[in-house]
Each structure stands twice: as structure tokens, then as C-alpha cells.
Amino acid sequence: MMKVAPSILSADFCKMAEAMENLKQWNADVVHCDVMDGVYVPNITFGMPMVKALRRYTELPLDAHLMITKPEKYVGQFCEAGADIVTFHVEASDDVDGALDIIKSFGKKCGVAVNANQPVDIAFPYLDRIDLLVIMTVQAGFGGQSFMENCLDKVRIADKIRKERGLKFQIEVDGGVCPDNIALVKGAGTDIAVAGSAVFKANDPALAVGQMQI
Ligand code: DX5
Ligand code: ZN
């Protein structure tokens, strides 16, 4: 079944403890944390202290999606803060292998993300050593953008490669995912769907989560 990872980017930043309780009640599978540095992307969100604070309020896996330059400098601190999964963008890093090694050394799950404007090929050298491949279906930077269906071709390619090579990484799709497009997302080979606005702005968030767990 598709796992759903609501992005707290669309939650009320003054009510994060409540958001953690809600996500449990809504039966979410993973908590997706969008970290932005204002350099790799034109927006700034939050960093390690937020992950550390959330850790005290949830037992759900914390998935830190780092949209930051030189992630190798910070991945260890996100692991220490309590993230269970740490992913970052290949082209933002000067040392992708080094960053993956640091995350693994903490016993955490590691992954790379492919932005909407990047070819999936940039992830190929790392597919045999990652736990998670994030394929973005919006250009990283903001929640609430429209879903780019053409990016699902990258999911199909990655899914084909993992089947052919018997690889174990999971595929997470991030950006503009909602109950209306979840069947397409699933059909392309996705294991985990990130959804920010489709969950936190829904009239019935629990229903929205359930509709995406297909
Ligand atoms: C975009 C983020 C996404 C996004 C998800 O840079 O990585 O996680 O906020 O939010 P929605 O589902 O609203 O596109
Ligand atoms: Zn994200």
C-alpha cells in the first residue's frame, strides 16, 4: 500500500505539537520535513532545531528533505536531531558519497532527491546505496504548487531500473500530490507520497490521507 508522508510545510508553525498528534490520528505513515536554506531554493523554512523539537512529539518516522547547499555539512546534525530518513539534492552537494556515508554511519536511512528541472540520471550512480529516491513533481521551494505529471516518467525509469537490478530503494514522489492524482502516482511505481496542502488544507485530512493510501 502507498505510504503517505504529510509535509509540515503546510501546517501551522505555531501548532507543531498539535500537528504531530493530528498526523497520528489521521493515520499518516511518515512526517515529511522540508528544510530550505534560501540558497539552493528561493525560500527559507526551518532547520535542525525543528526536527529535534518534533522528535519529542511523535513516534512516526521523520523524513528530512534537505533543500540546502552543501548538505554534507549538515546531514549528521539532522541525524542527531532525530531524523530517521535524510535526503538531499545531488547537484547541491560537493560530496554525495560522503554525505550518504555520514547518514549511514548514524544508522539512518539515506536518499537523494531529483528536482523537477533535473534529469533522473543524476541519481543513477547512487541507486545501489540509497534507501530512498525522491522524485519531485514540482520545482523545489514552495508548497501548494501544481503537480507536474511529466516528472512521473522519471519514476517509471527508476522503477524499471530497480526491478531489473533487484535494488531495494523506495521511491517517494513529492509535490502537488493529492487524491485526484494519486492513482497516476501509484501506477508509475511510487511507494511513498508526500502531500502538504492536500492533507493540511483538506476539510477532512484523515479522509484525504486514507484516499491516498491506495
Ligand atoms: C517543495 C517541497 C514539498 C512540498 C509539498 O519544495 O519539497 O514537500 O512542500 O507540498 P504540496 O503537497 O503542497 O506540494
Ligand atoms: Zn519535500
Q: What pLDDT score does 88 carry?
A: 99
How far apart are the CA of 8 and the centre of ligand 1, in A? Answer: 9
Q: What pLDDT score does 10 carry?
A: 98
Question: Does the reported pTM lie above 0.85?
Answer: yes
How far apart are the CA of 189 and the centre of ligand 2, in A? Answer: 18
Q: What pLDDT score does 13 carry?
A: 98
Q: Which helix (H) or strand (E) holds 6?
A: strand 3-6
Q: Which residues touch 65 (CB under 8 Å, ≥6 apart)?
A: 32, 33, 34, 35, 87, 113, 134, 174, 194
Place of cell 528536482: 115
Active site residues: 34, 174
Q: What pLDDT score does 117 carry?
A: 98
Tens of each residue's pLDDT in the chain, 214 residues:
999 999 999 999 999 999 999 999 999 999 999 999 999 999 999 999 999 999 999 999 999 999 999 999 999 999 999 999 999 999 999 999 999 999 999 999 999 999 999 999 999 999 999 999 999 999 999 999 999 999 999 999 999 999 999 999 999 999 999 999 999 999 999 999 999 999 999 999 999 999 999 9
Q: Which ligand 1 atom is nearest residue 175's CA?
A: 14
DSSP symbol at 64? E
Task: Classify residue 129 as exposed, middle or buried by CB count within 10 Å of its CB (0-12, 13-18, 19+).
Answer: middle
Q: What pLDDT score does 214 carry?
A: 98
Q: Which residues line ligand 1 (CB under 6 A)?
A: 7, 9-10, 32, 34, 65, 67, 138, 140-141, 143-145, 174-177, 194-198
How far apart are the CA of 171 and the centre of ligand 2, in A? Answer: 13
